[in-house]
Amino acid sequence: MSENALLELRGIYKSFPGVKALQNVDFNLRKGEIHALMGENGAGKSTLIKVLTGVYTKDEGDIRLDGQNVTIRSPQDAQHMGISTVYQEITLCPNLSVAENMYIGRSDNIIQNWKGMFEGADKMLKSLDIPAEASAQLASCSIAVQQMVAIARAVDMDCKVLILDEPTSSLDDQEVQKLFKLMRDLKERGVGIIFVTHFLDQVYEVCDKITVLRDGKLVGEYPIKDLPRVELVSKMLGKELDDMSEIKTEKKDTDKEDDSTPVYEAEGLASTEGIKPFNFYIKKGEVNGFTGLLGSGRSECVRAIFGADRVISGSVKKNGKTVKIQKPIDAMKNGIAYLPEDRKVDGIVGDLSVRENIILALQVMKGFFKPLSKAEANAFANEYIDMLKIKTASADTPIKSLSGGNQQKCIVARWLLTHPEYLILDEPTRGIDVGTKVDIQKLVLKLAGEGMSITFISSETDEMLRTCSRLIVMRDRKVVGELKGDELTQSKIMSTIAGGEGQS
């Protein structure tokens, strides 16, 4: 089409039983361009990428690479053509060295030139400015460096197109900056980068162009400067959206002081995960949150409350009565529910159906000898599928085939079904689309309005400011402050996290 065109997709169709995942989608990538692929969960981003990398075969359409029509049959095929992918989860081998990870599966020779391999890896790492030793074990590097090693591997394989699928979701700000620098370097070298992320800030920071998908269809391709954020969001959702400001007004009347007995109160709570003993309480209908940098111990605190890690000290009161919470089942019996941070590892039971995933916690509470009848289970599942607008073919669909946001809604449904008094949501909005994020925040405020106590944790501070009336600030596994009322501002949070008195 135009000069410098690197990759062109025309009229791509792909459907699965019952779902049209992609319909007539076009996509263009030029040399030396960072191109964001945006859309809600289930919009077809992942499917498009899987078509590009040969994981799925397209039903119809053309793929042109460097002006030549190509057929991509398998991920190996894609790699040979110069299309490399770095996924959200690290797909390398943590127990091998950095160099081995960069070269694994690439040589046709039976004999490995170890010396050459290490030297080559070192050179590559240096040229990309990646702070890692070729001989170091991969697991000893930080997640960000592991992510970069994955990129280095891709780059070293002469890649023309680099696909980054949510690479930043487990990185902190500094690490993200390092990654962006690497991306800009590669851009200089003429590599075309497709960047998939849920973080709008990051899109506006590094990308040149945005392609928006919705419901498996192409919405459009826009240069970054022609598409302000609000418009991007409304294009992704397919409607003009004032929901964010709506949320704020809904919150107002939840900030009130009262002297009632807390629903949950802990004193000197500590677990084996190394958090300093902390005190905590939550009142009826209150929404509070833990904030702090990644690794500051906010997840560990709520895990201790739920008994997910082994509790080693502290006393707990539920509605003023002393109770013992050692295991998750104790917490559940005391009306506490916990949505874990890592949806894939701790949340979903992948092969089980949406229905089984939704009823699981309730079922466990009812006990081994009292299974729900199939009709009851279906009724519960369908009730929550409707209520939370979970997009699924049926209640029998395995949960792993749903998009991330819909999986998360199933887990929320699972805990709502147990009718908890106190609900802990640890990063419920991570890695899911804007629409679902808004849905979840609205739900939190609605539930609090109905009298449920909720602890809400999010990496995105503005989400917490919007929903919480009290924030507990963590630093280095210690509670360092508590903010409420007028103190709830971005800058005050930052300065509390950073420590010290002055506001920089």
Partner 1 sequence: MSQKGSKGSIQDLFGKLVRKQIFIPIAALFFLLLFNLIFDPGFFVITLGTNSAGDPVLSGNLITVINMGSELAILAIGMTFVTAASGGQDISVGAAIAIAGSTLLRVLCGTNTRPAVGELRTSILVAFIISCLVAMAFGAFNGMLVAIFKIQPMVATLILYTAGRSIAAWINNNELPIISDPEFGYFGGFIPGIPVPTPVFIAVACMIVAGLVLKFTNLGLYSQAVGINESSSRLNGLNPVFIKWLTFVILGLCVAVAALIKVSRLSSINYSVIAKDIEMDAILAVALGGNALSGGKFNLWASIVGAYVIQLLTTTLFKYEVPSDALPAYKAVVVIILVVFSAPTVREKIGNLKKKTVKREVA
Count of positions on this chain that bind partner 1 (CB under 8 A) = 28
User: Does residue 348 belong to the site contacting partner 1 (CB under 8 A)?
Assistant: yes
Cβ contact 300:338 at 8 Å: no
Strands 278-282, 264-271: parallel, antiparallel or unpaired by DSSP? antiparallel
Query: Which of 306, 380, 384, 456 is close enough to bind partner 1 by CB under 8 A?
Result: 306
**How many C-alpha atoms does 201 have within 13 Å on its Cβ side?**
9
Nearest alpha-carbon partner for 148 in 118, 120, 121: 121
Q: Taking CB under 8 A as the criterion, which residues in 261-280 touch partner 1?
A: none
User: Does residue 110 belong to the site contacting partner 1 (CB under 8 A)?
Assistant: no
User: Does residue 375 belong to the site contacting partner 1 (CB under 8 A)?
Assistant: no
Token digits of residue 245? 């400001």
Which part of the chain contacts partner 1 (CB under 8 A), choosing from 98-106, 251-259, 326-334, 428-436?
326-334
Alpha carbons 58 and 14: distance in angstroms, whole number: 5
User: Does residue 350 belong to the site contacting partner 1 (CB under 8 A)?
Assistant: yes
**Helical axes 229-237 vs 434-449, angle rounded to 10°:** 80
User: Does residue 338 belong to the site contacting partner 1 (CB under 8 A)?
Assistant: yes
Q: Taking CB under 8 A as the criterion, which residues in 178-207 touch partner 1?
A: none
Alpha carbons 53 and 375: distance in angstroms, whole number: 42
Query: Which of 145, 212, 308, 410 is close enough to bind partner 1 by CB under 8 A?
Result: 308
Using the minimum distance from each CB to partner 1, give the nearer residue, 363 or 453: 363
User: Does residue 393 belong to the site contacting partner 1 (CB under 8 A)?
Assistant: no
Query: Which of 148, 270, 332, 425 is close enough to bind partner 1 by CB under 8 A?
Result: 332
Query: Which of 170, 363, 441, 459 is close enough to bind partner 1 by CB under 8 A?
Result: 363
User: Does residue 64 belong to the site contacting partner 1 (CB under 8 A)?
Assistant: no
Using the minimum distance from each CB to partner 1, give the nearer residue, 164 or 457: 457
Using the minimum distance from each CB to partner 1, give the nearer residue, 59 or 482: 59
Token digits of residue 271? 């677990």
For 43-68, give one letter per residue: b (16+ CB within 10 A) or e: bbbbbbbbbbbbebebeebebbbeee
Nearest alpha-carbon partner for 194 in 52, 13, 2: 52
Shortest distance in whole angstroms from residue 55 CB to partner 1? 14
Shortest distance in whole angstroms from residue 297 CB to partner 1? 18
User: Does residue 311 belong to the site contacting partner 1 (CB under 8 A)?
Assistant: no
User: Does residue 327 belong to the site contacting partner 1 (CB under 8 A)?
Assistant: yes
Shortest distance in whole angstroms from residue 374 CB to partner 1? 10
Helix (H, G, I), strand (E, B) or coil at 304: helix
Helix (H, G, I), strand (E, B) or coil at 374: helix
Query: Which of 8, 166, 175, 356 is close enough to bind partner 1 by CB under 8 A?
Result: 356
Using the minimum distance from each CB to partner 1, give the nearer residue, 258 or 351: 351
Sole residue written with tokens 């999010």: 458
User: Does residue 361 belong to the site contacting partner 1 (CB under 8 A)?
Assistant: yes
Alpha carbons 414 and 387: distance in angstroms, whole number: 12
* Most distant CA atoms of the chain, gap in Å: 74
Query: Which of 104, 294, 349, 393 is close enough to bind partner 1 by CB under 8 A?
Result: 349
Query: Which of 352, 397, 401, 478 is close enough to bind partner 1 by CB under 8 A?
Result: 352
Strands 192-196, 287-291: parallel, antiparallel or unpaired by DSSP? unpaired
User: Does residue 394 belong to the site contacting partner 1 (CB under 8 A)?
Assistant: no
Beta strand segments in 131-256, E: 161-165, 192-196, 209-214, 217-223
User: Does residue 420 belong to the site contacting partner 1 (CB under 8 A)?
Assistant: no
Token digits of residue 103? 């070269």
Cβ contact 36:399 at 8 Å: no
Shortest distance in whole angstroms from residue 501 CB to partner 1? 40
Interface contacts to partner 1, rule CB under 8 A: 306, 308, 327-329, 332, 338, 340, 345-352, 356, 360-361, 363-365, 367-371, 414
